[in-house]
Amino acid sequence: MNFIQTDNAPKAVGAYSQGVSTGNLVFFSGQIGLTPEGEMAGDDITRQTTQILQNISALLEATSLTKNNVVKATIFLTDIDDFAIVNGLYGDFFGDHRPARSCVAVAALPKNALIEIEIIAEKSEEI
């Protein structure tokens, strides 16, 4: 098992790792809309989602992976009415690649975030 860490995404805000690689899978911890410096990117769903997708790109890059290696995503929303906006940004990010996905409404997220996204990616070699 290898632990993933990059300064190009926000540091963990609790007792967890940015990601963990085991076998041919990489499990990335959920990302909220924090910049790599630890500041919330904005107070609206578009800015937070955009920052999350940038963080996901940075984490994938740190493991020599791309969005095409993502096999599963889970989206947590504090307001399910934001789904259409998130779905559009998410679709633009992944393009023709369509990983499995779940989306659930939750009561609250850390740091009063509006959204959190976690991913699982597959790799062909040990990192």
User: Could you list the active site residues?
Assistant: 103
Strands of 70-77's sheet in order across: 2-4, 19-22, 25-31, 115-122, 70-77, 100-105
The residue assigned the tokens 């990983």 is 99
Instruction: Evaluate whether 86 touches 80 at the Cβ level (below 8 Å).
Output: no
